[in-house]
Amino acid sequence: MQFIGKIVGFFLGYQIFHSFFGALFGAFLGHLADKKLYELGSVRSTIFGKNLTRQSLFTQTTFAVLGHIAKAKGRVTEDDIHLARQLMARLKLDAANQQLAQQAFTLGKESDFPLRQVIQEFREACGQRADLLRFFVEVQMQAAVQDGELDSNEQQILFTIAETLGMSRFQFERMIAMVMAAQQFRSGNFYQEYHYQQNDSQQSQQGSYGGYRQANSAPSIEAAYNVLGVSASDDQNTVKRAYRKLMNEHHPDKLAAKGLPDEMMELAKEKAQQIQAAYDLICKYKGWK
Read off the pLDDT of each residue in 243-254 and give the average, rounded to a whole number.
83
Q: Which of 130, 117, 140, 135 is nearest to 45 (CA)?
A: 117
**Top-confidence residue, 225 or 83:** 225
Helical spans, DSSP H, in 165-235: 169-182, 201-206, 221-228
More confident residue, 43 or 154: 154
Confidence band (pLDDT; 50, 70, 90) for 207?
very low
Mean pLDDT, to the nearest integer, of 200-210? Answer: 39
Give the model's confidence band at 212: pLDDT under 50 very low, under 70 low, under 90 confident, else very high: very low
The answer to whether the beta carbons of residues 266 and 90 sit under 8 Å apart is: yes
Taking 70 as the threshold, does the pLDDT of residue 259 lie above it? no
Share of the chain above pLDDT 70, in %: 69
> Higher pLDDT residue, 25 or 95?
95
Q: Which residues of 198-210 are buried (b: 16+ CB within 10 A; e: fewer)?
A: eeeeebeeeebbe
* Residue 220 DSSP one-character state: P
Q: What is the pTM of this model?
A: 0.63
pLDDT value at residue 6 = 53
Question: Does CATH place domain 168-194+221-288 in 2.60.40?
Answer: no
Q: What distance in Å separates the CA atoms of residue 243 and residue 23, rounded to the nearest whole number?
A: 34
Whole-angstrom distance, CA of residue 243 vs CA of residue 241: 5
| 11 confidence band (pLDDT: 50, 70, 90) | low
Q: Indicate if the alpha-carbon torsion angle 148, 154, 155, 160 is positive or negative.
A: negative
Per the prediction, the chain carries an average pLDDT of 75
| Residues 58, 54: Cα–Cα separation, whole Å | 6
Q: Kindly report, residue by residue over 24-49, the tens digit of the pLDDT.
A: 765 655 555 545 445 545 667 788 87
Q: How confident is the model at residue 244 (pLDDT cuts 50, 70, 90)?
A: very high
Q: Where are the domains of the chain?
A: 3-40, 43-166, 168-194+221-288
240 contacts 206 by C-beta, under 8 angstroms: no
How confident is the model at residue 160, as a pLDDT? 94
